[in-house]
Amino acid sequence: MAKKQLRIGMVGYGFMGRTHSNAFLQAPKFFDLPYEPALSAVCARNKGRVEAFAANWGYGAVETDWRALVERDDIDLIDIAAPNDMHHDIAIAAAEAGKMVMCEKPLGRTAEESAGMVAAVEKAGVPNMVWYNYRRIPAVSLAKALIDDGQLGRIFHYRAKFLQDWTISADLPQGGEGLWRLDVDVAGSGVTGDLLAHCIDTAMWLNGGIEKVSAMTETFIKEREHTLTGKTQPVGIDDACAFLARFDNGSLATFESTRYARGHKALYTLEINGEHASIFWDLHDLHRLDYFDHRDEGTTRGWRSIHVTDGDHPYMGNWWVPGLAIGYDESFVHQAADFIRGLDGDAAAPTFADAHRTDKVTDAVLKSARTGQWEAAS
């Protein structure tokens, strides 16, 4: 018997529109899902381009106004892959229309904004999720399993950084496609909401809540031309941010992100030091988890690099054969699969409520950078 369809209405056709579309296409091919995802309609303002996108990915219909998409009665799930300033209104309208909602990160530009989104999905009782995809890189999921199993023991330190170098040129404008990330009104913040939000989501998933933070930020290029107005305007985003944090479990943390680390394209690394063992993970070598266990005996004790590609590693039993790696795009496939599997069981995380907690931490980071004080993060 044919499975019941999960009819998806996608908003946005940029980088994330592609990762999400690919995820919904691949998920049922590799995972046994209770519903068959169907790319029913896609929405973006530019008609010609959205039609080309729909033809490429196999969407059945196009819309140029997200309100029309939300109102369609042949859509079960609205997936928001549009710039950050659109998340709030679309998510709330979708929830009020009784649709399930998935949303790109960060959930809101501020925690105040995401609080309203959480209230809307909870009032409507609709399944919801935010695309913090790095949790579902198998090596990161393995780290979670090791921590939950108590292999690291008490955690002393958490260290994360996310480094890029694509905004160093002062000639780069703010605003418009892709570059909306440099426009504070659209993005909400710079690296804090765009990159550190990933690090914070993973960190709280692995190591629990963050109690307080002390941060500094910098905007290296103070003015940039705005593509929409053609005028040179002040830059309101943070180009770089570093902060200290204390977790609820007493562990200490450092977080750093910048778009000015020449040579680094998307270097997300995390290290956790526990009483028995340490782990280290690096997005540029994403299928490996480095692990040191002090309980190993003898002179061969040392860091081992686990190639997370075996059949008993998280998600890997559903892919090729042991030893063959998967990559970045599959983290989205895993997320789509987990969301759909969660519809008939325990809801998959991170939910809007989880992502709202991340927004509270990023708010506290930005506040601390302004006040020069430690700020409460929950």
Interface residues with ligand SOE (CB under 6 A) are 164, 194, 198, 266
Q: Provide CB contacts within 8 A for 201, sequence distance 6+.
A: 105, 132, 134, 135, 350, 354, 355, 358
Closer residue to ligand SOE, CB minimum distance, 40 or 164:
164
Closer residue to ligand SOE, CB minimum distance, 278 or 331:
331
DSSP state of 218: E
Q: Provide the minimum distance between the beta carbon of 186 and ligand SOE in the complex, in angstroms, as a whole number.
A: 12
Three-state secondary structure call for residue 222 = coil
Among residues 249, 289, 239, the alpha carbon closest in space to that of 138 is found at 289
Residue 197 tokens read as 């939000």
Q: Provide the minimum distance between the beta carbon of 236 and ligand SOE in the complex, in angstroms, as a whole number.
A: 17
Closer residue to ligand SOE, CB minimum distance, 165 or 271:
165
Among residues 46, 273, 74, 291, the alpha carbon closest in space to that of 176 is found at 46
Q: How far is CA 318 from CA 6, 31, 279, 322, in A?
A: 21, 7, 25, 10
Closer residue to ligand SOE, CB minimum distance, 198 or 360:
198
The residue written with tokens 């266990």 in the block is: 293
Tally Cβ neighbours within 10 Å of residue 297: 6
Closer residue to ligand SOE, CB minimum distance, 62 or 270:
270
Q: Provide the minimum distance between the beta carbon of 15 and ligand SOE in the complex, in angstroms, as a whole number.
A: 6
Among residues 138, 137, 131, the alpha carbon closest in space to that of 201 is found at 131
Q: Provide the minimum distance between the beta carbon of 194 and ligand SOE in the complex, in angstroms, as a whole number.
A: 5
Closer residue to ligand SOE, CB minimum distance, 114 or 251:
114
Q: Provide the minimum distance between the beta carbon of 187 and ligand SOE in the complex, in angstroms, as a whole number.
A: 9
Cα 74 from Cα 62, distance rounded (Å): 13
Q: Provide the minimum distance between the beta carbon of 113 and ligand SOE in the complex, in angstroms, as a whole number.
A: 18
Q: Provide the minimum distance between the beta carbon of 266 and ligand SOE in the complex, in angstroms, as a whole number.
A: 5
Could you tell me which residues are beta bridge partners of residue 249? Answer: none
Nearest residue relative to ligand SOE (C-beta) = 194
Q: Provide the minimum distance between the beta carbon of 198 and ligand SOE in the complex, in angstroms, as a whole number.
A: 6
Closer residue to ligand SOE, CB minimum distance, 201 or 375:
201
Q: State the SS3 of 71-119.
A: HCCCCCEEEECCCHHHHHHHHHHHHHCCCEEEECCCCCCCHHHHHHHHH
Helix axes 47-57, 15-30, angle to 10 degrees: 20
CB-CB contact of 109 with 187 (8 Å)? yes
Q: Provide the minimum distance between the beta carbon of 365 and ligand SOE in the complex, in angstroms, as a whole number.
A: 17
Closer residue to ligand SOE, CB minimum distance, 104 or 375:
104
Three-state secondary structure call for residue 131 = coil
CB-CB contact of 98 with 104 (8 Å)? no
Closer residue to ligand SOE, CB minimum distance, 198 or 356:
198
Closer residue to ligand SOE, CB minimum distance, 41 or 203:
203
How many helices (H) and strands (E) the chain has is answered by 11, 17
Q: Provide the minimum distance between the beta carbon of 181 and ligand SOE in the complex, in angstroms, as a whole number.
A: 6
